[in-house]
Amino acid sequence: MYVCHGSNGCNSWQKKLQASYSLALTDPDSPPMTAPDTLATLLHRCAGRDEKALAELYRLTAPKLFGVALRILRRSDWAEEVLQECYVNVWQHAASYSMDKSAPQTWLTRIVRNRCLDWLRRPDHEVADIDDAIVENWADEAPGPLARLLSSDDSRRIAGCMQGLEAAHRQVIALAYFDGMSHGELATHMTLPLGTVKSWIRRGLEKLRLCLG
């Protein structure tokens, strides 16, 4: 469960998190995203049982997906296991990928996110306290996660829309998306009534949808 304790507890990093969302956006030094066409071609080759294509796909996409899994699961051994399962899954189901339906990166991310959320369903897979290095890292102000959002037009747009949300709405949405927190965990974590959390998320998502179009 998510429990806040210690002097460097939730309040401090929450403030940092909020601060990081209102950062003036500066140029990131993150590497450019791989072109969707490149990934789609690799997936197509995976469907044709080309093991070299899987190796290349892994090289290009694993660090990001490992980062995603690590943030949700907050345990390296779990994230490693999920990552392994997901790439084997990708290998087995590459033929079902269709670029018409989703961008390759989105498809890959969905597989990892869904696997992580499934993982958290198991009663013996209770995640550690959120207040650890990964969160601290996320909350760091420079070069900061928001700065990384500048790397493409799409992410600049969502960064702008996130900034347009009320701070509290932004925070619950970020914690739900990045940290895989459920409504109940958010309520405990932020010491808020469950109904409030649900309504903030609903209103936040609705505003995001209108903003992103």
Among 9-17, 96-104, 125-133, 188-196, the segment contacting other proteins (CB under 8 A): 96-104
If binding is defined by CB under 8 A, does position 75 make contact with other proteins?
Answer: no
If binding is defined by CB under 8 A, does position 25 make contact with other proteins?
Answer: no
In angstroms, rounded to a whole number, what is the distance separating the alpha carbons of residues 75 and 98? Answer: 32
If binding is defined by CB under 8 A, does position 125 make contact with other proteins?
Answer: no
Amino acid at 60: L
Judged by CB under 8 A, the residue of 62, 99, 168, 192 near other proteins is 62
In angstroms, rounded to a whole number, what is the distance separating the alpha carbons of residues 152 and 65? Answer: 18
CA 66 to chain centre: 10
- Show Cβ contacts of residue 24 under 8 Å, excluding neighbours closer than 6 positions: none
If binding is defined by CB under 8 A, does position 3 make contact with other proteins?
Answer: no
Amino acid at 196: T
- DSSP at 34: P
What length is written for the chain?
213
Among 2-10, 56-64, 122-130, 187-195, the segment contacting other proteins (CB under 8 A): 56-64
Q: How far is the CB of 87 from other proteins (least distance, A)?
A: 5
If binding is defined by CB under 8 A, does position 93 make contact with other proteins?
Answer: no
Q: How far is the CB of 105 from other proteins (least distance, A)?
A: 7
If binding is defined by CB under 8 A, does position 52 make contact with other proteins?
Answer: no
Greatest distance between any 2 Cα atoms in the chain: 54
From residue 122, alpha-carbon distances to 62, 85, 88, 115 in Å are 24, 16, 21, 12
If binding is defined by CB under 8 A, does position 139 make contact with other proteins?
Answer: no
Judged by CB under 8 A, the residue of 95, 137, 167, 210 near other proteins is 137
Beta strands in 24-183 (DSSP E): none
For residue 13 the two structure tokens come to 């990093």
In angstroms, rounded to a whole number, what is the distance separating the alpha carbons of residues 111 and 132? Answer: 25
Contacts with other proteins by CB under 8 A lie at 30-31, 33, 51, 54-55, 58, 62-64, 66-68, 70-72, 79-80, 83-84, 87-88, 91-92, 101-103, 105-106, 109-110, 113, 117, 121, 137-138, 145-146, 148-149, 151-152, 154-155, 157-159, 162, 173, 176-178, 180-183, 186, 201-202, 205, 208-209, 212
